[in-house]
Structure formats: structure tokens, C-alpha cells
Structure 1
Amino acid sequence: MEAIIVENLVKKYGDFEAVKGISFKVKQGEIFAFLGPNGAGKTTTVHVLTTLLKPTSGRAIVAGHDVVKEPMEVRKKIGIVFQDPSVDRELTAWENMYIHGRIYGLRGQDLKKKIEELLKFVELWEFRDKQVKYFSGGMQRRLEIARSLLHEPEVLFLDEPTIGLDPQTRAHIWEYIKTMKEEHDMTIFLTTHYMDEAEQLADRIAIIDHGKIIAKGTTEELKKLVGNDIIYVKFEKPTCVQAEFIRGCKILNDGRVALEVNNAAEVLPLVFEKARDMGLKILEVTYHRPTLNDVFLHLTGREIRDEASDRSTMPMRRWGR
């Protein structure tokens, strides 16, 4: 059963097309990652799926409801952690949780019990009476995750949940995300430009670039698009090398040449020999097993990089029931 169905979704801002007719499905109970550089259309897609933006065309169903025709029903069934901090820094952690719970119709002992349970889950219970402005970035992120779970959403949207956090805090956030899925069979839609985050967390990944989905599948399925091993060679003059032991050759934007091979350790001497025969001077050579970055390189000719933000120009709105 699908928790999210997207068909030919388009979102334009004037003449600029931020999302270009994308289609995908997210299964109930899975972690689905949108992986791509900033500016790819990830946040715009999330804003459409969470009813903050109306699509220019196409159709999106979330938790069984159309995001355009039934926005209030969608909002009741989803939680969201925005890319930008959205907690009130002047309030305490407990107050932020309480107000959010009341917006969703929770009250009394049930709400208080839920707040305690979730603040303990993200290890913030001892800081419940502390103003959020004194929290670290990681603590604020954990509070936002706890707040998003108060009304027990069917689908949770996490838009770049660990951006700007240190590696240790990122690892802790990953553990919370895994636990949410395992204990509550929750569907999680995650956007990220961190390849290790997508690889660690996602059951399936969609790679998005310039508003288009360019590949979908599990981590292993995506890596198979590249091959077994990749040798990166920097020649004095970028030149593609063709040989029976090379499955594919591509000149990258930075001038390196990517060679797809079955076994890099065995083939490497043959590459040197071939370069010598072709009169090519090798400046640098590296090789490794394929990664998601290699997949992106293979599909686009460049690495995932930080670009101008893909956040929409609309002001951020908070919403409730």
C-alpha cells in the first residue's frame, strides 16, 4: 500500500520551473529519501506534499488524501520538520510541545503524558523547562522531531533534518529516525544532500536534479547503474580511454576521467600501460567501490554540491489543525 502517490507533479514560479513533472510512490512504512544538491527541487516538493504550496499541475496523494482537494485531512495525518528552525526560541521545550499539542486537539493528562514520553525519547526531558534559545542546534532539531510526533502522524516529512549539525549529533538523529520507523511502522519522507544519510537511512532513494528525478531504487540498485569499481584518472589533457577491460569512460566537469571496470586493483596496471601507449601523462589516480556520489557523477557528470537554496520564495507558514 502506498502512503504517497505523486503523478506528473509540476511547480512553477513564473517562468521558472522548480519541479518538472516528477512521479513516484512511497510505500507505507518505508523511509524514502530525496537525494540531490541544493536547488534540485527537494524542498519545493515537500512544500507541495505538505499543502504549503499548490502544484502548478499534476496530482499528489498523501495518506489517502489529495493535497489540493483535501488539505486539512492531509495536515491531520502528517508531521513535518522544516529545513529552517520553527520552534519558538523564547518558550521552553515543554511550552513548545504543549502549544503544538493543543493545536492538534490534545489536552489534559494525555497531552502531558505524551510530552513526557517524547521529550524522554529525544533525551530532552531534563531540559524541559529551559528556554529554547539556550539550546544547541542539535537539541533544537531533536525538539522539532519530538514536536512533530505529538499527534502520531501516519507520514513524517523530514526536510534536511541534520543540515549544519556535527557528525555525532547527526548520528544521534539517525538513530531516532530508525527507531521511529521500527517501533511505529511510520512512513518517513526524507530530503537530504548528504549521501551517507540517504545510504544509512533509506529503504529506497530517488535522485533529483534540476527539478527532475533522474534515478530511483535501493542503494544497491542505484550503484549497479555505475558498475563494480571506478578508477578516476587525471590526465595532463582530459582524454577518454577505450579498451576491452574498460566498461565505460566519462570525462567529468572537473577534468578527471572516470573509468568503469570490474576489478580496479587488477585493471590499474593496464590503465597505466594504455595511457603510456596513447602518450597520455597521468597526474593523479584514485579508485574505489561505487558510492551514491559516483552514481550522481555517472548520471550528471558532476558531484552533489551546495548551490543556491531550493527553498521557495514564499514566507514560511506554521500550520495546525
Structure 2
Amino acid sequence: MTTPAIAANGLHKSYGDKTVLDGIDLTVPEGSVFALLGPNGAGKTTAVKILSTLITADAGELRVAGHDLAATPQAVRAAIGVTGQFSAVDGLITGEENMLLMADLNHLSKKEGRRVTAELLERFDLTEAAKKPASTYSGGMKRRLDIAMTLVGSPRIIFLDEPTTGLDPRSRHNMWQIIRELVTGGVTVFLTTQYLEEADQLADRIAVLNNGRIAAEGTAEQLKRLIPGGHIRLRFSDPHAYRNAAAALADAARDDEALALQLPSDGSQRELRSILDRLDSAGIEADELTVHTPDLDDVFFALTATVPAPSKESVR
């Protein structure tokens, strides 16, 4: 089996009598995007700080890039990059100078540092602005420069802590494309975000953190099926076909005015096939079929309600 990029078992962190992380377990496969969702104060940034060696855990077995976090933190640091909530860009110097500074911090030779800087500035569409002070950059440009600086050391794992906060929709979508390209190149991305669409678009797996615990974990589609409210809606143009379908699907809710039937469903292929088989057996064909499933907003609000966190639900 491939060694996970990140593995945390029983991660615990408290500040005084306040428990921030209450024994969480996480496994992130190599070359994937893992999103950690949660409301403000849920512990997302604390998890990132611990896994990126910025602060220490109170308890837990933690391995990043195959290295034991407690025993060999320096080896972990050599394998990771971190882009925090707040930009690390120095606005008093140019974009190029910011990059060269990172090259020096990564102990690259001057020749190699200039080569890597030029490549990354071009990759992130910052070449034209390279000689301008970073203070003149837009929010999206600063974020691109931030990630470019993170990549100077060719990290295998990148922690992105709410990387698109404050960006306009176009800049946010540009950032998503950058993240997709990183993963295509074999980089593992650990992402925290409050934008549910962002997790839906990017993440291979999502964990919802609430009250210091993982409330649920799975793919976006799996998490959506945890929440009731999904249904299949069938609409007919022929009243006769509608009546026959209502008889064949006696458990469906009827809308006689719209000639539509609605059945509870988790949106799975198995359940959809079962309904279609029942219609086929009766020789009936619907004019329109739509599958409605709860979205990540529904999942987020259901799992982070102001009640004690539920026991973890993991969908495999």
C-alpha cells in the first residue's frame, strides 16, 4: 500500500481548559486534494499549524510525507509548503525579489534561484508585474505570488489555509485551476476553506470539523447522501401515463396539477434503476426525470449546528 501523504491518529490540542482538537483522525492519500471544512473557531487553522510543524500537538501519532512529526520535524519541513490565511508577500519589494528571497531561504544557488523564479513567475502569469512592488498587486496577484513563493522549494505537500478568502469570483476560479494543476503534477494539497463550492469543486475527500471533532468524512457526493431531503421527480405530459405511473409508484407523492411524482431518494444509481425498472414493468415512460440531492451547504449546516458534535460518520 502507498504511504499516505498525511496520517494523523488521535490528534489532540488544548489551550488551557479549551479543547481545540479532540482526538481527530485524518488520512490524506498522495496526489489528492483533502478539504477540511468547519465554522470559525472549529480548529482548522490549528490543525494546519500542527501538521506543518508550526506548533506542537498535545497528543497523537502524526506522520507527514512518511516522517514522524515529533521525531523528525526538519524532514517534514523539507517536504512541505504552507500558504497561510494572511499573505506572506512583502509589499515593499518587487514580486521577483520576493521570489528570490524565498530561493535564498531554500538554499538555492543564485543561478538556480533565478531559473526557478523565472519559471514560476511565468507559470503564475506574473512576469510582466515581476519588477513592480508587490504592494501594487491586486488581491488575486498577491495570492498567486504567495503560492509561487511556496513552490520555490518544490514541496510534495502543500497546506493552503483558506487560500481564496477575499478574492473576487474570477480570481477564485483562477486559483482553483492552479490547485488542479498542482495536483496533476503529483502534489498533495491539504485545503481549509469556508467556501463550500470550493470544496465541492476541488476535493477528493472532505472532512467536516465541528467542536474539535470530525463530524463526517467522505467524498462530496457521499457527504450529501448523509442528509435527508434527496428525491427523484418524474414529470409526465400525458395524464393517462401520469395516473398509471402513480398507481405503479404508490409510495410517490403526487402533484396532480403539474402531473409530477416525487419519491425520496439518496440519488444512488441502484435506487434510480429500481424506480425505472418499476416504470418499465408497467410500460410507462416519464417525459422528464430529475434527481435532487442535498448540497454541501445542507451538509455543513446539519453537521455544524450548535449542538454537541455527532460521532464521526465516515463514508468509504
Same-fold call, TM > 0.5? yes
Post-superposition shift, 1:115? 0.7
1:149 match: secondary structure: helix
Q: Within 5 Å, which residues of 2 pair with 1:201-280? A: 201-227=202-228, 229=230, 261-262=264-265
- What is the CA-CA distance between 1:289 and the residue it aligns to? 3.2
Question: Counterpart in 2 of 1:194?
Answer: 195
Partners of 1:210 and 1:163 lie apart in 2 by 22
The answer for unaligned runs of 5 or more in structure 2 is 232-250, 254-262, 267-290, 307-316
Q: Which residue in 2 is equivalent to 1:27?
A: 29
SS in structure 2 of the partner of residue 163 of structure 1: coil
Task: Indicate the residue corresponding to 1:130 in structure 2.
Answer: 132
Counterpart of 2:92 in structure 1 is 90
Amino acid in the other structure paired with 1:105: H
Q: TM-score, structure 1 length as denominator?
A: 0.75
Instruction: State the identity as a percent.
Output: 43
Per-residue displacement from partner, 1:266-296 (whole Å, max 9, x unpaired)?
A: xxxxxxxxxxxxxxxxxxxxx9631011112
Offset at 1:228? Answer: 5.7
Separation in 1 of the partners of 2:199 and 2:191?
8
Q: Distance in 1 between matches of 2:252 and 2:16?
A: 49
Tell me how far 1:221 sits from its aligned partner. 1.0
Which residue of the partner structure matches residue 237 of structure 2? none
Pairing 1:294–2:298 present: yes
Shift of 1:245: 6.7
User: Which amino acid is 2:212 matched to?
Assistant: G
Question: Quick one: distance in 2 between partners of 1:117 and 1:228?
Answer: 49
Are the aligned partners of 2:210 and 2:303 in contact in 1 as well (CA < 8 Å)? Answer: no
Displacement of 1:229 after TM fit?
2.1
Q: 1:92 to 1:8 in 2, by over 3 A?
A: same
After TM superposition, the score normalised by the length of structure 2 is: 0.76
Q: Structure with the greater relative contact order (CA < 8 A, sep ≥ 6): 1 or 2? A: 1
> For residue 86 of structure 2, what is the amino acid of its counterpart?
D
Match of 1:271?
A: none
Q: Give the Cα separation in 1 of the matches to 2:230 and 2:133.
A: 51
CA contact (8 A) 2:39 2:304 kept: no
1:99 counterpart residue number: 101
Written as runs of structure 1 = structure 2, the 5 A alignment for 1:19-58 is 19-58=21-60
* Distance of 1:40 and 1:17 partners within structure 2: 10
Structure showing greater radius of gyration is 2
Partners of 2:28 and 2:34 within 8 A in 1: yes
| 3-state SS in 1 of match to 2:5 | strand
Q: List structure 1 segments (4+ residues) > 4 angstroms apart after TM superposition.
A: none
2:17, 2:138 → 1: CA distance? 40
State the distance in 1 between where 2:174 and 2:204 align: 19
How many residues were matched structurally? 254
The reply to whether residue 160 of structure 1 matches residue 162 of structure 2 is yes
1:239 paired residue number: none
Letter in 1 for 2:301: L
Letter of the structure 2 residue corresponding to residue 199 of structure 1: D
CA–CA distance in structure 2, aligned partners of residues 17 and 42 of structure 1: 13
| Displacement after TM superposition at 1:109 (Å) | 2.1
Unaligned runs of 5+ in 1: 231-243, 247-259, 264-286, 303-321
Q: 1:118 matched to which residue of 2?
A: 120
